[in-house]
Amino acid sequence: MQSCKEVLETLAEYLEGDLTGEERATFERHMQDCPPCDAFLNTYRKSGDLAREVLKNREVPAELNDRVRSFLRARLGLD
């Protein structure tokens, strides 16, 4: 079984559908067995949904979009 840290490092890939079938199954199994990680996933999803709702009629400047993506990728260790 993966640790919480290992599973949460794949959170973005899970939500984007970028995990292999085996990785996805491992992720989902961990979420079933770990209420704190499952709660984090649900909060993360709701935060994204809320942000999309608030910003749906607003255009985000390209520079800000690039900076946020770079920040998130760096924080998730994807760079």
What pLDDT does 23 receive? Answer: 95
Residue ranges of domains in the chain = 4-75
3-state DSSP call for residue 71? helix
Residue 1 has pLDDT above 80, yes or no: no
What pLDDT does 48 receive? Answer: 86
Tokens of 70: 């770079």
Taken in order 21, 11, 59, 64, the sign of the CA dihedral is negative
Query: What global pTM score does this model have?
Result: 0.64
How many angstroms separate the CA atoms of 31 and 15, rounded?
Answer: 13
Convert the pLDDT of each residue in 37-74 to its tens digit.
999 999 999 998 898 888 787 887 899 999 999 999 99
Average pLDDT, the chain: 91
* Topology of the domain comprising 4-75: Arc Repressor Mutant, subunit A (1.10.10)
Q: Which distant-in-sequence residues (6+ apart) come within 8 Å of 32 by Cβ?
A: 38
